Amino acid sequence: MKVTDFTVDPVPHNQIKWFVKKHHYSGSTRGIHISYCFGLFKESDFGLSRMIGTMIYGIPAMPDVSKKYCPDNPDIVLELNRLCCIDDTPTNTESYFIGQTFKWLKKNTKYKVIISFADTAQGHEGIIYKATNFIHSGMTTGAKALMVDGERYHQRMLTKKCPKGDEIRKRIKDKDENIWTELLPPKHIYVYYLDKRMKRKYN
């Protein structure tokens, strides 16, 4: 089967959480902004579709990130923050998947700039981003994670208004030793301009 035989469709977040948990190294969608979710499907037995990949886009968590890559209009910046496929997909499956979601975003949304990060802690260098013509834009520095009972959370949990955030703030106030911060290794930063005129402007 060729990659062009696969189909790509927008899907609700609750339909792909299990797939991310099973196939993505993070094992979770917790702590990310979720704007659009996509599924990659392969025709299976009896004409049924089988999910073989998922992708999630969301608004960057930190406003300064959007401003850095599109200072004139940061509201058109979107982050590709989860991408995973099953192991036995053909060569170029991820590139095809990304390309199809780009087409959908260009047609159906206002977003023009896509950013993503490759985690060096997982041995990732962003090969798939290079293959799909993302621009390498340096490395992240100085980021910290909030560790709670050995589980990692984003630092913004300290200001987030939710039961978990309230619990963490109370425990920190009580000097709970099971909560600490941890310096994160750098990540590769990649940028893709859906509007080629913006690429010429900012690069």
Q: pLDDT tens across 146-193, in order?
A: 888 888 777 777 777 788 888 989 999 999 999 988 888 889 999 999
The residues near 49 (Cβ < 8 Å, ≥ 6 apart) are: 7, 41, 42, 43
Residue 142's pLDDT is 67
Q: Helix or strand or coil: residue 73? A: coil
Residue 34's pLDDT is 93
- DSSP conformation class of 103: H
Q: What are phi and psi of 149, to 5 degrees?
A: 55, 35
Domain-wise residue ranges, the chain: 3-140+185-202, 144-183
Q: pTM of the prediction? A: 0.83
CB atoms within 10 A of CB 15: 12
Residue 76's pLDDT is 95
**62 closest CA partner among 177, 165, 197, 154:** 154
Give the mean pLDDT of 22-49. 87
d(CA 3, CA 203): 31
Is the pLDDT at 133 greater than 90? The verdict is yes
Percent of the chain with pLDDT over 90: 55
Beta strands in 15-112 (DSSP E): 36-43, 49-58, 77-85
In single-letter form, the type of residue at position 186 comes to P
Give the mean pLDDT of 110-129. 91
Is the pLDDT at 38 greater than 90? The verdict is yes
- DSSP conformation class of 46: G
d(CA 121, CA 190): 16
Q: How confident is the model at residue 123 (pLDDT cuts 50, 70, 90)?
A: confident
3-140+185-202, CATH topology level: Aminopeptidase (3.40.630)
In single-letter form, the type of residue at position 190 comes to Y
**191 closest CA partner among 27, 60, 25, 28:** 60
For 84, half-sphere exposure in the C-beta direction (CA atoms, 13 angstrom radius) is 17
Q: Give the pair of three-digit tokens for residue 79.
A: 């982050």
Is the pLDDT at 88 greater than 90? The verdict is no
Q: Give the pair of three-digit tokens for residue 47.
A: 């004409």
- Are 132 and 99 in contact by the 8 Å Cβ rule? The answer is yes
Q: Max CA-CA distance within the chain?
A: 58
Residue 6's pLDDT is 94
Q: What's the whole-number average pLDDT of the chain?
A: 89
Burial class (CB in 10 A: 0-12, 13-18, 19+), 46: exposed
